[in-house]
Amino acid sequence: MGTNSFEKIFSDDIPEKLDLHVKEGESLCLRLATTKDFKGSEINVTVEDFGSFDGAFAEFSGSSFLFKLNVFLKGNGSECNWHLATITKGKSTKTFETSVIHEKLSSVALMENYGIAEDESKLVFSGVSHIHNGAKKTKTKQSAKIIVFDPLAEGRASPILKIDENDVEASHAAIVGRLNDDHMFYLRSRGISEDESKRLITMGYLKPIEAYFNNDELKNKIDEAIEGGF
């Protein structure tokens, strides 16, 4: 990381409220991971001119909660990258509201949320990408994808675009679907058990979040949580 970069890591001790300020030309790398009880959190990030925010959240607790992330791209050329992976199981309900607000010229944002809903649980991804008037040349993309493993589980994804400027690029994608029968059939036809098939699908879907964590001990912890989550 460069001299104008800083990193914050929270493992199983995520604050209930966190306000972060990325000054002009700075870069913030935020890493969140939890496998224990989690009560939810609200994180607000303000990014000034040519600053960047890079965040990743590996959330594998068994809790029910509301998590909010608001990123304010206040500066020209400011950037946001966000990546989330989570599993809901039992009768838990998890709601993730991830939003980005573009206020100045040429800001860029990518927000990706991936999840699996099992048993009788509920997983909700929502958020707003808001491009203010005057934020020309802005690019924003929000993606939300959920696989629903069991008949009583529920997934809901609702990304929203609010665009007050013409000269921009904006898109969103929301995919919620049942476990792919063809994938299961392919694995089962090769002698792989149902549980092992689910494990392999889960690993392939959620394991990429590990790429955003450099600490080997933390990566192993995330890996064990993903394997135990199916």
Over 80: is that where the pLDDT of 204 sits?
Answer: no
Residues contacting residue 95 through CB under 8 Å, at least 6 positions apart: 65, 66, 67, 124, 126
Report residue 131's pLDDT band, with 50, 70 and 90 as the boundaries: very high
Chain centroid offset of residue 186 CA: 29
Region of 221 on the Ramachandran plot (φ > 0 left; ψ -120 to 50 alpha; else beta): alpha
Question: Looking at residue 82, what is its pLDDT?
Answer: 98
Please tell me the predicted confidence (pLDDT) of residue 180: 66
Residues 117-138 have a mean pLDDT of 96
Is residue 152 one of the residues assigned to a domain? yes
222 lies in some domain: no
pLDDT at site 26: 97
> What local confidence, expressed as pLDDT, does residue 225 receive?
86
Structural domain of residue 89, as residue ranges?
5-179
| Residue 224 lies inside a defined structural domain of this protein | no
In a domain, 226, yes or no: no
209 lies in some domain: no
Name the percent of the chain lying above pLDDT 90.
Answer: 72
Count of structural domains within the chain: 1
Please report, to the nearest 10 degrees, the dihedral formed by the alpha carbons of residues 74, 163, 161, 69 taken in order: 10
Residue 1 has a pLDDT of 47
Mean pLDDT of the chain: 91
Q: Is 30 within the bounds of a domain?
A: yes
195, part of any domain: no
According to DSSP, the residues that pair with 155 across neighbouring strands are 123
**pLDDT for the residue numbered 229:** 54
Q: Could you tell me if residue 92 is inside a domain?
A: yes
| DSSP structure string for the chain | --TTEEEEEEES---SEEEEEE-TT-EEEEEEEE-S----EEEEEEE-TT-EEEEEEEE--S--EEEEEEEEE-STT-EEEEEEEEEE-TT-EEEEEEEEEE-STT-EEEEEEEEEE-TT-EEEEEEEEEE-TT-TT-EEEEEEEEEE-STT-EEEEEEEEEE--SS-EEEEEEEEEEPPHHHHHHHHTTT--HHHHHHHHHHHHHGGGGGG---HHHHHHHHHHHHTT-
Residue 66 — very low, low, confident or very high, per pLDDT cuts 50/70/90?
very high
11-51 confidence digits (pLDDT tens): 999 999 999 999 999 999 999 999 989 999 999 999 999 99
Dist CA 170 CA 131 (whole Å): 9
